[in-house]
């Protein structure tokens, strides 16, 4: 444990929670809070629409086809249009808007820097314009491509342009945060970057490397092709570039939740962060290793050598390590909290945790779901198991307890204190918020059980099994998992109703104060802090501080692990024309 001389001279004990630097001025703070609020509320509006479409998919996997219902038919042309909207709004739009607000606000506060708010608003408006541009063809059934938009399925150019603008705007947020960090570094030579800012900057840096594949695919291939400027597209090359981004994007979704689990959850629990140096190591491992693993989505694809598939498989196992570090580190924080409240015994201490507090239970139940989601991920990544689960219902089972719970439930829990913090409004009902959290967790766990089970029995993903192919599944003994999946859809519908009721009641209630005192950022105390001056810091802190050099290393690693694969596909590209299927 290292305590910096600076910290001692301020007579802070190493256990103290971080004291936030003073805000440059009140207008800046109010403006920053407002733009953050816009990001967060837009995110939840997307989630609202996306989530309402979920029960249709759950009922489909229960053998009940609602897509023939006249009301549904008037709104959605097909199962695939519903599924495309559900996936794009929940997985791509909700996450990106929430994260862009969350990881703009946190580092700005943590570093105490002044941001160019005009630029922040410009980025928000650009992202929203991108969203609307992509949403229009989606709603008009001109981009029914599912959220992976694999060519040669072809959609309206507006969809691809909107998607590119959205991703581009997230990179502008990344740029603004990284530039603010550079500015802070210049003004604070020899100092250790504060933990929350460190986690945000590392995540944004990871995203800039990760997003290159998708940007390349959309800008160089899909937009010119959908505009008719080129006659065809190489599906395998496009898919490979997609998964360059597509795996790492899952860490872009989950690391902002890790920030909550590491930095704020201990405070909600009444405990302390275990070790800042360890957290910094975790984020650096994610920066380096999140991206060069995407071929684990393509074990079944031709013309990608087994050599590279195997390398990506081992790198995937390696990227589970920082998640395992997180599991043990955060569990230690929770145990610390529970024992401080008088908890006893090997497991009995868990009873002392504040399970009735929704901001706490949302994060911890999200983490519990992620134990199973992560274990399932390791199964997916194993080339030997992949043929059993790939393209089956197991996969949506996996991602509803990762992005659908680990990420989403954590963000829901954050909204219970972040909205009061940003707006000075109050959470209207702890009981209803708790009910929303526990029912979301229950619904998702039941959904995951039903879908993993169906997947193991061989039921394919992305299939309207309720309509066309029932006979094929007649002898499969699907009754119980189908029933579980259907019931879970109903539980989640009730849960969503509770959550959005609480959210909108909160947003529409009158402002009580400025939120700084009634709902401050819940910084936690630290058992083993990183210290404030680099020269006095532990070797692990000094090794993780040069994020710029580590960023370059991450880029080099990705080019090494993807260069030969993409190079070969480019040199052998076979352009095929597009199809419109639905």
- The partner in contact with residue 282, picked from ligand HAS, Cu ion, none with C-beta cut-offs of 5 to 8 angstroms by kind, is none
Structure tokens that stand for 336 in this block: 């610390």
Among 88, 180, 281, 367, binds ligand HAS (CB under 6 A): 367
Q: What are phi and psi of 300, to 5 degrees?
A: -90, -5
Binding to Cu ion by CB under 5 A, coded x per residue (else -) over 231-260, reads ----------------x-------------
With beta carbons less than 8 A apart as the criterion, state whether 276 and 526 touch. yes
Q: Which residues contact 175 (CB under 8 A, 6 or more apart)?
A: none
Give yes or no: 399 in active site: yes
Q: 239 vs 280, which CB is nearer to Cu ion?
A: 239
Subset of 311-340 contacting ligand HAS (CB under 6 A): 316, 319-320, 323-324, 326-327, 330-331, 334
State CA 255 to chain mean position distance: 7
Subset of 295-314 contacting ligand HAS (CB under 6 A): 296-297
Q: 377 vs 489, which CB is nearer to ligand HAS?
A: 377
Residue 273 is given by DSSP the state E
Interhelix angle for 95-111 vs 195-210, to 10°? 140
Q: 105 vs 251, which CB is nearer to Cu ion?
A: 251
- The partner in contact with residue 241, picked from ligand HAS, Cu ion, none with C-beta cut-offs of 5 to 8 angstroms by kind, is none
- The 3-class SS string of 206-269 reads HHHHHCHHHHHHHHHHHHHHHCCCCCCECHHHHHHHHHHHHHHHHHHHHHHHHHHHHHHHHHHH
With beta carbons less than 8 A apart as the criterion, state whether 30 and 423 touch. no
- The partner in contact with residue 370, picked from Cu ion, ligand HAS, none with C-beta cut-offs of 5 to 8 angstroms by kind, is ligand HAS
Subset of 536-555 contacting Cu ion (CB under 5 A): none
- The partner in contact with residue 568, picked from Cu ion, ligand HAS, none with C-beta cut-offs of 5 to 8 angstroms by kind, is none
Q: Tokens 């030579």 map to which residue?
A: 189
Give yes or no: 251 in active site: yes
Q: Which of 114, 462, 505, 542 is catalytic?
A: 462
Binding to ligand HAS by CB under 6 A, coded x per residue (else -) over 140-159, reads --------x-----------
Give yes or no: 421 in active site: no
Left (φ > 0), alpha (ψ -120 to 50) or beta: where does 303 sit? left
- The partner in contact with residue 171, picked from Cu ion, ligand HAS, none with C-beta cut-offs of 5 to 8 angstroms by kind, is none
Is the four-CA dihedral 122, 255, 503, 449 of positive or negative sign?
positive
With beta carbons less than 8 A apart as the criterion, state whether 440 and 393 touch. no
Contact flag: residue 126 with ligand HAS (CB under 6 A): no
- The partner in contact with residue 541, picked from ligand HAS, Cu ion, none with C-beta cut-offs of 5 to 8 angstroms by kind, is none
Give yes or no: 400 in active site: yes
Distance, CA of 407 to CA of 418 (rounded, Å): 16
Q: Which of 18, 109, 247, 312 is catalytic?
A: 247
The number of residues in the chain equals: 582
Among 96, 176, 240, 380, binds ligand HAS (CB under 6 A): 380
Q: What is the DSSP string of 437-469?
A: HHHHHHHHHHHHHHHHHHHHTTPBSS--TTTT-
With beta carbons less than 8 A apart as the criterion, state whether 416 and 357 touch. no
How many residues sit close enough to ligand HAS to count as binding (CB under 6 A)? 37
Contact flag: residue 386 with ligand HAS (CB under 6 A): yes
- Of 365, 359, 289, nearest to 325 by C-alpha is 289
Q: 33 vs 352, which CB is nearer to ligand HAS?
A: 352
Contact flag: residue 395 with ligand HAS (CB under 6 A): yes
- Of 393, 400, 353, nearest to 372 by C-alpha is 400
- The partner in contact with residue 377, picked from Cu ion, ligand HAS, none with C-beta cut-offs of 5 to 8 angstroms by kind, is ligand HAS
Among 134, 199, 210, 250, binds ligand HAS (CB under 6 A): 250
Give yes or no: 86 in active site: no
Minimum CB distance to ligand HAS, residue 143 (Å): 17
- The partner in contact with residue 177, picked from ligand HAS, Cu ion, none with C-beta cut-offs of 5 to 8 angstroms by kind, is none
CA distances from 16 to 11, 19, 531, 538 (A): 10, 8, 12, 19
| Start-to-end CA span in the chain (Å) | 60
- The residues of the shown chain that bind Cu ion, judged by CB under 5 A, are 247
Q: Which residues bind ligand HAS (CB under 6 A)?
A: 148, 250, 253-254, 296-297, 316, 319-320, 323-324, 326-327, 330-331, 334, 350, 364, 367-368, 370-371, 374, 377-378, 380-381, 386, 389-390, 395, 398-399, 402-403, 406-407
Q: Which residues are catalytic?
A: 247, 251, 398-400, 461-462
């Amino acid at each position: 444990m290292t305590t910096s001389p600076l910290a001692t001279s301020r007579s802070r004990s190493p256990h103290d929670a971080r004291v936030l630097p003073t805000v440059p001025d009140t207008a800046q703070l109010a403006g920053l809070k407002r733009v953050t609020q816009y990001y967060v509320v837009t995110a939840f509006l997307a989630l609202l629409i996306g989530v309402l479409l979920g029960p249709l998919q759950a009922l489909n996997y229960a053998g009940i086809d609602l897509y023939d219902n006249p009301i549904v038919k008037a709104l959605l042309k097909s199962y695939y249009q519903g599924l495309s909207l559900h996936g794009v709004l929940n997985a791509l739009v909700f996450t990106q808007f929430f994260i862009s607000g969350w990881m703009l606000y946190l580092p700005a506060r943590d570093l105490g820097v002044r941001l160019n708010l005009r630029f922040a608003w410009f980025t928000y408006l650009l992202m929203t314009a991108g969203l609307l541009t992509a949403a229009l063809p989606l709603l008009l059934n001109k981009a029914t491509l599912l959220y992976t938009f694999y060519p040669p399925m072809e959609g309206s150019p507006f969809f691809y342009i909107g998607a590119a603008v959205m991703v581009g705007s997230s990179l502008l947020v990344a740029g603004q945060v990284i530039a603010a960090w550079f500015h802070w570094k210049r003004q604070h030579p020899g100092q250790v970057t504060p933990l929350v800012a460190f986690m945000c900057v590392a995540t944004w840096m990871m995203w800039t490397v990760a997003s290159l594949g998708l940007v390349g695919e959309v800008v160089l291939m899909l937009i010119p092709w959908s505009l008719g400027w080129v006659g065809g597209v190489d599906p395998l090359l496009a898919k490979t570039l997609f998964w360059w981004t597509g795996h790492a994007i899952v860490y872009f979704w989950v690391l902002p939740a890790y920030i909550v689990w590491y930095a704020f959850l201990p405070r909600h629990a009444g405990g302390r962060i275990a070790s800042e140096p360890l957290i910094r190591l975790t984020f650096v491992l994610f920066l380096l290793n999140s991206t060069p693993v995407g071929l684990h989505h393509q074990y079944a694809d031709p013309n990608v050598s087994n050599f590279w598939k195997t390398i990506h498989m081992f790198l995937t196992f390696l990227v589970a390590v920082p998640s395992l570090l997180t599991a043990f580190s955060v569990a230690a924080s929770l145990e610390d909290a529970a024992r401080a409240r008088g908890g006893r015994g090997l497991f009995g201490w868990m009873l002392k945790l504040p399970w009735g507090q929704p901001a706490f239970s949302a994060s911890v139940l999200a983490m519990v779901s992620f134990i199973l989601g992560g274990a399932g991920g390791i199964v997916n990544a194993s080339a030997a198991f992949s043929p059993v689960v790939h393209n089956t219902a197991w996969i949506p089972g996996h991602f509803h307890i990762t992005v659908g719970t680990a990420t989403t439930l954590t963000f829901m829990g954050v909204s219970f204190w972040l909205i009061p913090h940003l707006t000075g409004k109050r959470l209207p009902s702890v009981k209803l918020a708790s009910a929303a959290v526990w029912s979301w967790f229950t619904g998702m766990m039941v959904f995951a059980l039903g879908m993993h089970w169906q997947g193991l029995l061989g039921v394919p993903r992305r299939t309207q099994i309720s309509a066309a192919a029932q006979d094929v599944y007649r002898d499969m003994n699907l009754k119980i998992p189908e029933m579980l999946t259907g019931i879970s859809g109903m539980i989640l519908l009730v849960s969503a109703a509770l959550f959005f009721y609480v959210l909108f009641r909160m947003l529409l209630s009158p402002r009580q104060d400025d939120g700084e005192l009634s709902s401050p950022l819940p910084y936690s105390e630290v058992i083993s802090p990183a210290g404030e001056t680099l020269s006095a810091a532990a070797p692990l802190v000094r090794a993780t501080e040069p994020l710029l050099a580590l960023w370059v290393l991450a880029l080099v690693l990705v080019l090494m692990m993807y260069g030969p694969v993409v190079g070969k596909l480019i040199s052998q590209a076979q352009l095929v024309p597009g199809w419109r299927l639905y």
